[in-house]
Amino acid sequence: MMLISRRFLVSMLGCSLAAAFPAGLYAKKPPAEQPQAQQANSQDQDQNQDQQQDPLKRQMSDQERYKSQKALRQELKGPYKTWLNEEVPYIITDEERKAFLSLSNDEERDAFIEAFWQRRNPNPDSPENEYREEHYRRIAYANEHFAAGKPGWKTDRGHIYIAFGPPDDIDAHPSGGLYERTPEEGGGTTTTFPFEVWHYRYLEGIGENIDIEFVDTCQCGDYHFTIDRSEKDALLHVPGAGLTEYEEMNHKDKTDRFKGNGVENLGGGPMGDYAQGKEFDRIELAAKLFAPPPVKFKDLDAFVSEHKILTGPPFPFDVRTDFVKVTDSTDLVPITLQIRNRDITFETKDGVSKGVVNILGKVTTIMHKTVQTFEDTVEIDQPAELLEKSLDRKSVYWKSLPLQPGLYRLDIAIKDVNNPDHIGLYAQSLNVPVFEDEKLGTSSLILADEMHTVSSRDIGEGNFIISNTFIRPRVSANSATPVTFNRSQNQDLNFWMQVYNLGIDDATKSNSATVTYEITDAQTGDVILQKELESKDLGAHSDQLTVEKSLPIAGLQPGKYKVTVKVNDAISKQEIAQSAPFVVE
């Protein structure tokens, strides 16, 4: 990179020198006095020199070409430009904005927008996104109530309303007029411009009891945010009018208000001096209110984004990923994390032991474009007297992400909040499959320690729920290690799999496939259990069906086994099978 820059600098310097000196100082011999070969070589040099001197003929460097292509990609148009600059400017993070601007086609932008809203969905498995609906409701409200020669979303009140929602209380003075100052403002009576003070009991990341002041100094309906509480004073620059109590009692004029070069021009007095001392707090508040929303766990983001090296003992955890078809262009990718309670630091207070773990995950393309992120805090509570027994258990976290088929990188970082140097990292490629039309396909074969049907109101909502089934996967240390079931705990072997693109008979409008599941001894190959099902019994008129079974393991001796689900489609003449190993202890 440095070499390219120096060559460019030398080339430009040469052009500048050639232009600065008179042509006669560099006059060449007449062509007749030069040998023919040398003359030809001189002509080539002249041509090359001309190309170097002409910016239009000079070839672009790799860096310049990359910047040019990047600029073309970033030139958003139409609905994508509207979405970025008018619909989500107050809720999109700097990292997300940078990632969106780096996208090169509309398909990638559509996928990004879908993922953007899904990350903020309080119920990720629900088709209804309450966050998105509330966001657009706020925009509509702002445009209706705060417009002032410009759309309401562009005003300061609209900005705050969209970013933080309606305030808990509003002190409104729409006509201004006579105003009794608070003691913090110096007391006394004055006349004001129209103004409003919005009070929030709590704003995440900002604090408690937040007062935000807007003033309409132009009296045109355009209330702007201010950190100067004296700005609403219409008599601020009128000599002898609108004095504070301190100024009246001490026969002072207003000149002292303007001597401090402070943010606010409040009157003197004990409370006024105290308020002046809080100016940096008001500046900090303004910076937080109008800053892009930050990454929640910045310390973990450094490990994921910058691949920061661990300095303390590693925090071990296991990860399992599965794939389920949602639409022709989108897969559901459930990600399951498993942490041993013994690896978590518990703090005991009032008879309760609590462990807290922060989790940050990021999915990026092979070109380092971020397409999904998730952040969560998991708390594990135990009665203090039962803590020792619970340390042999494991805690499981589940996150389901919608992704388009393709190759990605999955990075996850976790932190033991009660032991901040205890960090765990995970990085793995993620190959989201394509479920091609008319080709028989299956989801992952999931082995679970708990599985049951959920009520109709819980379908697609909540942790560990896929479609209408609650299924909590068993997680192993890695893909080569089988999951474990314990006979002494009376656990069942639960397995779940979906089948896609079954053939449909044109005459009967139904499918015709045989589903066989079997349990085999992994060491001897002997079949322990085998059973066949007809696809018509699972869903006669659908090209998709779900295989879910629960089998007791009490009859299995300790050892290594394998469960296999085979599908033989009589209509499309296709076969497919999925297998998963497990261990019985």
User: Over the stretch 511-559, which tens digit does the pLDDT of each residue have?
Assistant: 999 999 999 999 999 999 999 999 888 888 889 999 999 988 888 889 9
In 501-544, DSSP assigns E strands to: 513-521, 527-534
pLDDT tens figures, 264-281? 887 766 555 555 557 778
CATH architecture for residues 435-585? Sandwich (2.60)
DSSP annotation of 21:
S
Identify the burial level of 353 via C-beta atoms within 10 angstroms of its C-beta, where 0-12 means exposed, 13-18 middle and 19 or more buried.
Answer: buried
The answer, yes or no, to whether residue 218 has pLDDT greater than 50, is yes
pLDDT tens figures, 251-260? 788 887 777 6
Q: Choose between 394 and 42: higher pLDDT.
A: 394
pLDDT tens figures, 9-49? 334 334 433 333 333 333 334 444 444 444 444 445 554 55
Residue 472, pLDDT score: 93
Q: Choose between 284 and 278: higher pLDDT.
A: 284
Residue 433, pLDDT score: 93
pLDDT band at 321 (very low <50, low <70, confident <90, very high): very high
Q: d(Cα 384, Cα 350) in Å, to the nearest integer?
A: 9
Residue 337, pLDDT score: 95
Q: d(Cα 365, Cα 405) in Å, to the nearest integer?
A: 11
Cα–Cα nearest to 474, from 337, 333, 323: 337
Q: Choose between 340 and 94: higher pLDDT.
A: 340
The encoded tokens of residue 107 equal 């398909």
Instruction: Give the containing element (helix H, strand E) for 22.
Output: none
pLDDT band at 294 (very low <50, low <70, confident <90, very high): low
pLDDT tens figures, 60-99? 666 665 565 555 444 677 899 999 999 999 989 887 888 8
pLDDT tens figures, 103-116? 878 888 888 898 88
371 Cβ contact partners less than 8 Å away, ≥ 6 residues apart: 99, 111, 112, 115, 363, 364, 365, 403, 408
Q: Which amino acid is it at 514?
A: T
The alpha helices in 235-357, defined as continuous H runs, are 245-249, 270-276, 279-290, 298-305
pLDDT band at 170 (very low <50, low <70, confident <90, very high): very high
The answer, yes or no, to whether residue 348 has pLDDT greater than 80, is yes
Q: Which amino acid is it at 1?
A: M
Residue 448, pLDDT score: 94
Neighbours of 182 (CB within 10 A): 11
The domains of the chain are located at: 67-119, 167-290, 295-434, 435-585
Residue 421: C-alpha distances to residues 338, 354, 356, 397, 414 (Å): 20, 18, 13, 21, 11
The answer, yes or no, to whether residue 386 has pLDDT greater than 60, is yes
Residues β-bridged to residue 365: 408
Among 76-80, 410-414, 488-492, the minimum mean pLDDT is found in: 488-492
Handedness of CA 99, 100, 101, 103 (dihedral sign): positive
CATH class of domain segment(s) 295-434: mainly beta
Identify the burial level of 473 via C-beta atoms within 10 angstroms of its C-beta, where 0-12 means exposed, 13-18 middle and 19 or more buried.
Answer: buried
Residue 31, pLDDT score: 43
Among 152-161, 389-398, 479-488, the minimum mean pLDDT is found in: 479-488
Alpha carbons within 13 A on the beta-carbon side of 47: 6
The alpha helices in 426-568, defined as continuous H runs, are 535-539
Residue 486, pLDDT score: 86
pLDDT band at 198 (very low <50, low <70, confident <90, very high): very high
Query: In which residue are the tokens 């400017």 written?
Result: 89
Q: d(Cα 565, Cα 84) in Å, to the nearest integer?
A: 46
Alpha carbons within 13 A on the beta-carbon side of 564: 18
3 Cβ contact partners less than 8 Å away, ≥ 6 residues apart: none
The answer, yes or no, to whether residue 360 has pLDDT greater than 50, is yes
Residues β-bridged to residue 402: 332
The answer, yes or no, to whether residue 102 has pLDDT greater than 90, is no
Q: Choose between 300 and 206: higher pLDDT.
A: 206
Average confidence score pLDDT of the chain: 82
Q: In degrees rounded to 5, what are phi and psi of residue 419?
A: -145, 80
Cα–Cα nearest to 353, from 393, 378, 381: 381
The answer, yes or no, to whether residue 508 has pLDDT greater than 80, is yes
Residue 339, pLDDT score: 95
* Full-model pTM: 0.54
SS3 state of residue 47 = helix
